[in-house]
Amino acid sequence: MAKSEVKLIGKWSSPYVIRVKIALNIKSIEYENLEENETFNPKSDLLIQSNPVYGKVPVLIHKDKPICESLIIVEYIDETWSTDSSILPSDSYDRSLARFWVAYLDQKWFPSMQNIITVEGEEERKPYFEVMEEVVERMEGAFKKCSKGKSFFGGDTIGYLDIAFGSFLGWLSVIEHEYARKLLVEEKAPCLVNWAERFANDPAVKGIIPMTDKLVKLSKALQIKWRGAIGKK
């Protein structure tokens, strides 16, 4: 398969783009990486043409056909390139369980991170930290159930839920670094602490999760942008 058959429109910092990159790596798919301006100023013509509804990354272009939304793309990759390395669980119940926890994460996890970065003052951040601590507690329990005693949520190898959760590890490190509040700690979430280390060092992931200092620098610029957006409401 020619590399030009598969293109990914994304941004290096986006956890949702990271999801797609990991899935492509798991399937050993070569692709052309098309990097958008970090602030979308301006958005590329290709992005607008490929995702006219939302104008967001990631967009996977396969044989000139665009596929949008990270989780839809991950499932498309898993279905289109059938290999021994399956991303979604083969069992229908396990598949529904993984999708449930992914939906939970997308509803609770990154929005709380974004709010922590956006709001001003320790007291204002407190409820969002509480949400994140609750998510950690629930995901610790989910790991025990989904992994069935193995290394990843997906079992012996990285799966759908691993990709969805692990894609946020870079931004989690920003929160912990900037606000001196550790969320993944051995005392409360020993399974997740060990899982995060295994995930980050997996060959399909290594080198994709951005360095903390680079994300911290970006977070300061985004903080100004997000606060400005709130002020215009």
CA distance 26 to 87: 8
Distance between CA 38 and CA 108 in Å, rounded?
A: 24
pLDDT value of position 1: 52
* pLDDT confidence bin for 37, thresholds 50/70/90: confident
For residues 67, 73, 79 and 80, what is the CA-based torsion angle, rounded to 10 degrees? 50
Going by the DSSP 8-state scheme, the letter that residue 152 receives in this structure is B
Report the CATH architecture of 92-214: Up-down Bundle (1.20)
Helix (H, G, I), strand (E, B) or coil at 35: strand
Instruction: Kindly indicate the confidence band of residue 82, based on its pLDDT and cuts at 50, 70 and 90.
Output: confident
112 contacts 132 by C-beta, under 8 angstroms: yes
Report the pLDDT averaged over residues 120-141.
Answer: 96
Instruction: Write the single-letter amino acid at 153.
Output: F
All residues at 6 or more sequence positions from 81 whose CB lies less than 8 Å from its CB, including other chains: 27, 29
pLDDT, tens digit (0-9, with 9 covering 90-100), for 221-232: 888 877 766 555
Report CA torsion sign: 31, 103, 57, 66.
positive
* Residue reference for tokens 């993984």: 98
Domain at 3-80, CATH homologous superfamily: Glutaredoxin (3.40.30.10)
| Alpha carbon distances (Å) from 54 to 61, 67, 114 | 16, 12, 19
Length of the chain: 233
All structural domains of the chain with their residue ranges: 3-80, 92-214
Single pTM value for the model: 0.94
Average pLDDT, the chain: 93
Q: For residue 95, with 0-12 CB atoms within 10 Å meaning exposed, 13-18 middle and 19 or more buried, which class applies?
A: middle
